[in-house]
């Protein structure tokens, strides 16, 4: 167990090496984040009028209009996220193949599979709406069940994005393919992704531990400007860490996919490391 965790940590560091070689890969999650803000702003008014937020707070169904607008919001948000993740995965795949990808390469690859990306976004939005309904209507048990099912869905679909951009198959087949590859590399992607999440979780905690005392000190000095500055820096740190985390997770998923299919994760992932980290069934 400890050996597998150690190997996963080495794979996480290898993902950092890929990012260092192509720092422009960070552009994809940055643009995705900005696009998501635009989507949220666009849907805010119709969602408010449809009672979507009241439904979230009360846990009660609020009519067909709320369901429709909620689904459309999920659909557009998932599409934006998956599109830019696909562009990142496509560029990362080129780098792992020994090439030198550009931003245009990533967007071109994602654009070539836009139909499948939209289809997968529709599936993800449907699953999201179902999990939300279970969580709202089932009380504490519903929230627990929704969390478990959401985690399971995330595991099963971990490799869908690289499959979509590399193999070009439909979204349903991509989900099935991801589940099959999961069985062939049983558990390693979970440990590796946990490693990324744990590392950035500690970094997030570090920002809070450092930031809160600074806010208290600024407040004790009765400096509103200083308080706002510290809060702004904390928010910026959270955004940067979130972008780094999502970028490394995407790179890692491409490496897992490559090894599961070809037995070679690329030049940034040494063969002996990968052979010791992955267990083929």
Contacts of 150 (CB under 8 A, 6+ apart): 131
Tell me the pLDDT band of 262, cut-offs 50, 70 and 90.
Answer: confident
- Contact between residue 134 and residue 146 where contact means Cβ atoms under 8 Å apart: yes
Phi first, then psi, for residue 113 (nearest 5°) are -120, 25
- Range of lowest pLDDT (43-52, 105-114, 178-187, 239-248): 43-52
Q: pLDDT (tens digit, 9 = 90+) per residue, 38-96?
A: 988 888 776 676 566 565 555 554 566 677 777 888 899 999 999 999 999 999 989 88
The pLDDT score that the predictor gives to residue 89 is 93
What pLDDT shows up at residue 53?
Answer: 59
Question: Which range among 109-118, 144-153, 264-273 has the greatest average pLDDT?
Answer: 109-118
How much is the pLDDT for 47? Answer: 67
pLDDT of residue 260: 78
Of residues 85, 91, 75, the one with CA closest to residue 30 = 85
**How much is the pLDDT for 158?**
86
pLDDT reported for residue 105:
92
Reading the block at residue 147, the tokens are: 């969390």
Q: Do 160 and 120 touch, CB atoms closer than 8 A?
A: yes
Q: What is the pLDDT of residue 51?
A: 60
Number of domains in the chain: 1
For the chain, give the mean pLDDT: 81
Q: What is the pLDDT of residue 63?
A: 60
Radius of gyration of the chain (CA): 20
The most confident of 8-17, 214-223, 227-236, by mean pLDDT: 227-236
Give me the pLDDT at residue 188, please.
53
Q: pLDDT tens, 166-215?
A: 998 999 999 999 988 877 665 555 555 566 777 778 888 998 999 898 88
pLDDT at residue 281, rounded to an integer: 47
For residue 197, the enclosing domain spans 2-277
Task: Decide which of 265 and 159 is more confident.
Answer: 159
Residue 148, token pair as written in the block: 């478990």
Predicted local confidence at residue 22, as pLDDT = 84
- Euclidean distance between CA atoms 191 and 97, whole angstroms: 24
Alpha-carbon distance of 147 to 190, in angstroms, equals 16
DSSP at 263? S
Model confidence at 13, pLDDT cuts 50, 70, 90, reads confident
Question: What are the backbone dihedrals phi and psi of residue 207, each rounded to the nearest 5 degrees, phi first?
Answer: -60, -40
Residue 5's pLDDT is: 54
Structure confidence at residue 65 (pLDDT): 67
């Amino acid at each position: 167990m400890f050996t597998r965790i150690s190997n996963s940590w080495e794979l996480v560091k290898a993902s950092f090496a890929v990012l260092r070689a192509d720092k422009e890969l960070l552009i994809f999650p940055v643009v995705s984040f900005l696009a998501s803000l635009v989507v949220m702003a666009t849907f805010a008014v119709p969602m408010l009028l449809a009672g979507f937020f009241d439904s979230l707070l009360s846990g009660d169904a609020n009519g067909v209009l709320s369901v429709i607008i909620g689904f459309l919001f999920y659909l557009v948000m998932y599409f934006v996220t998956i599109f830019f993740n696909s562009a990142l995965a496509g560029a990362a795949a080129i780098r792992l193949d020994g090439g030198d990808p550009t931003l245009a390469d990533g967007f071109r690859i994602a654009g070539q599979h836009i139909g499948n990306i939209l289809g997968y976004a529709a599936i993800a939005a449907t699953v999201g709406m179902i999990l939300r309904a279970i969580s709202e209507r089932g009380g504490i048990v519903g929230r627990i069940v929704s969390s478990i099912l959401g985690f399971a869905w995330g595991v099963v679909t971990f490799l869908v994005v690289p499959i979509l951009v590399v193999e070009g198959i439909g979204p349903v087949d991509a989900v099935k393919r991801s589940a099959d590859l999961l069985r062939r590399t049983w558990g390693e992607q979970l440990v590796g992704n946990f490693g990324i999440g744990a590392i950035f979780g500690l970094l997030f905690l570090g920002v809070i531990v450092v930031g809160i005392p600074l806010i208290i000190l600024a407040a004790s000095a009765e400096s509103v400007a200083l308080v706002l500055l510290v809060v702004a820096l904390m928010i910026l740190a959270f955004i940067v860490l979130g972008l780094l985390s999502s970028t490394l997770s995407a790179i890692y998923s491409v490496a897992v996919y490559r090894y599961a299919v070809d037995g070679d994760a690329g030049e940034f992932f040494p063969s002996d490391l990968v052979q010791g980290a992955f267990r083929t069934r």
